[in-house]
Structure 1
Amino acid sequence: MKQSFGMVTAFLALSLLLFHFAFHPTYAGEWQPLSTAMEDGAVRRPILLVPLDSRPPCGAFVVNGGKIIGREVMTPPSELMDYYSMAGDTAAMRSWVAAHIHEADAAILSVDQLLSGSLLAAREAHISVEDIDALTAYLRDLHAAHPDVPLHAFYILPRAIPQDGIEGWRERRALLAYARLLGRAGAGLSVDAEEMARLRAEIPDADLQKYLAHFDESTALAAMLITLTEEGTLTRLVLGQDDGEEFSVGNLKKAELSALLTQKNIAPERAMIVHGADEIALSMLARMAIDDLRARGGAPPRISLRYARDDMADAVFPFMAVSNDVTAREKISMLGSTLAPDDANSDLTLFIAAGDNDADTLGTRTPSAAAIHRLLSAEKSVALVDLSRHFRAEETLLPMLTEKNVPVNALTAYAGWNTASNAIGTAVAEAVLYHCAMKNAATAEERERAAAANLAFLTGRMAEDEFYLKETIDRVNDALRRAGYANSADLDLTRNWRWANDLLMNDLSRCMRSYESTAAFRMPVIQNGMMLRVVRSNITAYYPWPRTFEVRLESAPVVERKMP
């Protein structure tokens, strides 16, 4: 029976491959390296970026996204940035921006970095009235001195988890549970008064005051940023919500800010409150690309939404306050794109697979692989969001794509890391950037450069989100624990950083070699009239911070084009 099923699967894969080439042009020429050079006439002033923090998603993703649309993204010197729990130099950062903004076409500014020195530092920081006033004056002066450089700012609203400065696991647990009940009560829902009283008795007054004051201070800062947007100092403002929950004090404060936006009648294209944090700068870059496309007479891409199974739309994944569908629609709206009714009438399909062993989703993987194969064979642009509730490879779709010989390098975008908002936001932003690049491309060289940059981004996301985060990280952590390192989330750089990096590269390289040997990887693909193939991934990676949770991963794939 298994043999018969395997023969049927192989026949279907071969049929789809024959269908792909039967209805598309043939290419009889030689394979040549894809052009990656920027044409002299296409060079524009860079976009200045102040990242949320020094982690790769906050900076490197935006730099690599800029390469897709042929734009340089200028970032601050590393010595001004944060390093793990060490905050960045905010005074020096503000001076750097003031000194270099005249070189830029636009700026994307993290308020957390400018004010507190990073996202981690902002989670613990006290924000005084004087701090807010000083930042207000700085941004107004910056705009007054360079009124022709649009300022796109983003700020991350506090997460529900208590600050690290509040000690005691019992107190922290009680405080979070109490804050959830406060959120329910504030939303007009019934709560258990006795349970609230019991939890309140476990929380020291000073801890509760510090926790609630952090939300009040953050709300005052966000209100100031809304005022700066209203007056025109900021061209665009995005307020993100970090690690959201369904009910929290943060949600109540977010409702206050939403009411303020309505009161001031600020249009959503100028100011939005969204879920997420790390992906916001990349999303803002993609929105700028759509603005540029519109200025050239083009239209934003129409995006259709598909799920591996219908109930995945309503699923709420870890660290999220809303469902996958609410998140996806929010990200599409944030970019200024429109929803299409179906794949036939769309420029891009956002395909969301939300794997969850507890919800018995494994049976969706084979039909999902077939559906994606059909879309790719019809030369549809597909951005795949490959979520996993438990962060395990068996819940994800990419392994099934390789098993079923789906041409993975024909995907327009891929993401499956961390939270649903991170993954959905990253995949949509990459796909939109590539769409804009191809619509604006005037020469074959520009199309080749955009394709090469997008394949580099795509390959990097697959290497990190699937092979590192679902496989390699566990083996590295196991090796560290067997060697006596109890806390792999806090490496001792003087003793095990080099060894940990060796473990990382040895295991990840093995995974990538196995992946590159598959027919799914080696299969030539057709994109925008070009037949392309990725010869190898050329992945390098190391740990940028003293923990294994994130890697700095670079992808420089060898890509070739077959000339007709």
Structure 2
Amino acid sequence: MKKKIILIPLDERPCNQEFQKLLTIDTDYEVLTPPLEYLGLQKKPGDIDKIWNWLHKEVKNAFGLILSIDTLLYGGLVPSRLHNQGVEELLKRIDDLKAIKTDNKDLKIYAFDTIMRTPSYSSDDEEPDYYNVWGKDIHDFGALTHKVEVNVASESDKQLLSEIKSRLPMEFYQDYTDRRKKNVEVTKRIIDFVKDETIDFMVIPQDDATPFGLTAKDQIVIRQYIHDQKTQLKAYMYPDADGVANTLLARLINVDKGIRPSFYVKYASEAGKLVIPCLEDRHIIETIKYQILAVNGVLTSCVENADVVLMINVAPKMFDVRFSYLKGIEHDVFRNLIEYIEYADYAVNTLKKPVIIGDVAYANGSDLELVDLIYQKGLTYKLAGYAAWNSSSNSLATAIAQGIIYNIYGKTKSHLEFLAMRFIEDAGYQSIVRQIVVDQLPSMGMDFFNIDGPRGKVATMVKEGLQKYINEELPKEYPVKIVECYQPWSRMYEVGLKVKIKD
């Protein structure tokens, strides 16, 4: 009988509640999530009471619990940025976690609780309504105020701060910062639970972080609290959000099996180690260290002794594939992609190592030059993991988790299907088909964030485009079929996809 892992996901999107089920199909573990109708929809919060009741029922015979605090308290990731609950109400609700532990004393609880993001642009797609007009000013006011506080603001920074202060409605800024303060108090309580061992391990992911601003200031407060409570070894904080459930799943399996895999990390560009990825606040090399530690791994400098080879496709500058698929000196001269792919081939075919490719040269999509080389080398279905689907950290978390499971279970059918899905989604959709369809939306009376529902004409166009990609680009080693294709939040940012390898 499979061991039961309960997942309270960050929200209802496939990356947060389907990837984990797909990854564990051919393992000793089964991932269960609350019914989809309990989880809400984008800005609409999930039914918190029903989620709690379901959790109490299911957890009694579970082996592990992977827990999104954002969903358990606010109803999801986006609702965590919109709620009007009081601090006392939130703290009272979260205290019920102790009863969960009482119900099942052997239960391993791994939790994650995001630090609220502060987008640098004006949009209310995932933020309060006023962010559509005042979002950029709210972000800039927070960032510039932070710079002033740490004495690094230039005269032009101070001038801009004064201009923003004269026009920004302070009631909106107050609402935004008050909510942040409440969320930070909740995070502190979760850290207390780590200290008293109600929670065994936690990650505090920074959703869309930058070096200065409201998110960075929250991070400073929380980091100090972690230090004060002496929970540094069990409460990690680094950039991510949508990838953390994958990471905690991989950790849970490694810990259960007594495995501490060693990782040899290889970069496509030495200078790329120091790139700060889009939507993140630190050099990628530092985030990767946490990603490896979080799955219960360690780094090694000797490839021969490594259990896993993690190959990072990165350049000294990162672009967002949605807006500018640019290639220049950063991607041609300051990295060596040929040496990178030859090493991947050597590690797979000569060293016989599990090789994970974190394709993060671009945000929100694959590096098509690398994908072409992978296809040419015949490595597509020999890899232990691959991802390039969103932010750098989201992609790395997904690829590493798949690699961890491959390291234990090998080349299963579900592993091959997940690999195929990654190339179809990350390269096919995000780097090719998405923009082709987006270009046609204005003539259809739609735009990037507003299409005709999850399974309308646009979803059909996407499926047709992806089938064309499979027919013309994807290697033919296995016959791959799309069994589901939809747009989860009725927008073009992501795609919901399931594929099968035909028997």
Q: CA contact under 8 A between 2:449 and 2:492: conserved in structure 1?
A: yes
Q: Are 1:385 and 2:358 counterparts?
A: yes
Q: 1:169 to 1:141 in 2, by over 3 A?
A: closer
Aligned to 2:2: 44
In structure 2, runs of 5+ residues without a counterpart are 319-326
Aligned to 1:430: 402
Please give the secondary structure, in 1, of the residue aligned with 2:114. Answer: strand
Q: What TM-score, normalized by structure 1, do the two folds share?
A: 0.81
Please give the secondary structure, in 2, of the residue aligned with 1:53. Answer: coil
Give the deviation of 1:544 after TM superposition. 2.5
Give the deviation of 1:305 after TM superposition. 1.0
What amino acid does structure 2 have at the position aligned with 1:408? T
Aligned to 2:322: none
Distance, in Å, in 1 between the alignment partners of 2:361 and 2:20 is 24
**Residue correspondence of structure 1 range 282-361 to structure 2 within 5 A:** 282-294=246-258, 299-354=259-314, 356=318, 357-361=327-331
Match of 1:204 among 145, 166, 169: 169
Give the deviation of 1:170 after TM superposition. 5.6
Q: CA contact under 8 A between 1:166 and 1:207: conserved in structure 2?
A: no
Q: CA contact under 8 A between 1:316 and 1:323: conserved in structure 2?
A: yes
Aligned-pair identity (%): 20
Q: CA contact under 8 A between 1:388 and 1:396: conserved in structure 2?
A: no
Give the deviation of 1:235 after TM superposition. 1.9
Distance, in Å, in 2 between the alignment partners of 1:461 and 1:557 is 13
Moved more, 468-477 or 176-185: 176-185
Distance, in Å, in 1 between the alignment partners of 2:363 and 2:216 is 25
In structure 1, runs of 5+ residues without a counterpart are 1-42, 439-446, 523-533, 560-564
Match of 1:257 among 218, 222, 226: 222
Distance, in Å, in 2 between the alignment partners of 1:502 and 1:191 is 51
Distance, in Å, in 2 between the alignment partners of 1:359 and 1:323 is 20
Aligned to 1:280: 244
Distance, in Å, in 2 between the alignment partners of 1:169 and 1:288 is 40
Match of 1:217 among 176, 182, 195: 182
What amino acid does structure 2 have at the position aligned with 1:199? I
Distance, in Å, in 1 between the alignment partners of 2:294 and 2:140 is 32
Distance, in Å, in 2 between the alignment partners of 1:318 and 1:248 is 15
Give the deviation of 1:98 after TM superposition. 0.8
Q: 1:392 to 1:48 in 2, by over 3 A?
A: closer
What amino acid does structure 1 have at the position aligned with 2:490? P
**Residue correspondence of structure 1 range 13-412 to structure 2 within 5 A:** 43-161=1-119, 164-165=127-128, 167=130, 171-192=134-155, 193-268=158-233, 270-294=234-258, 299-354=259-314, 356=318, 357-362=327-332, 364-378=336-350, 379-389=352-362, 391=364, 396-402=369-375, 404-412=376-384
Give the deviation of 1:451 after TM superposition. 2.1
Distance, in Å, in 2 between the alignment partners of 1:289 and 1:350 is 19
Distance, in Å, in 2 between the alignment partners of 1:307 and 1:388 is 11
Q: What TM-score, normalized by structure 2, do the two folds share?
A: 0.90
Q: Are 1:484 and 2:454 counterparts?
A: no
Give the deviation of 1:81 after TM superposition. 1.1
Provide the alpha-carbon RMSD of the alignment. 2.2
Distance, in Å, in 1 between the alignment partners of 2:252 and 2:110 is 9
Aligned length: 483
Per-residue deviation, residues 184-238 of structure 1 (Å, max 9, x unmatched): 3444534433332222222212122112212211110100111122122222222
Q: CA contact under 8 A between 2:82 and 2:128: conserved in structure 1?
A: yes
Q: 1:414 to 1:201 in 2, by over 3 A?
A: same
Q: 1:424 to 1:392 in 2, by over 3 A?
A: closer
Please give the secondary structure, in 1, of the residue aligned with 2:439. Answer: helix
Q: CA contact under 8 A between 2:365 and 2:388: conserved in structure 1?
A: no
Q: Are 1:542 and 2:500 counterparts?
A: no
Give the deviation of 1:315 after TM superposition. 1.0
Q: 1:413 to 1:324 in 2, by over 3 A?
A: same
Please give the secondary structure, in 1, of the residue aligned with 2:437. Answer: helix
Q: 1:511 to 1:481 in 2, by over 3 A?
A: same
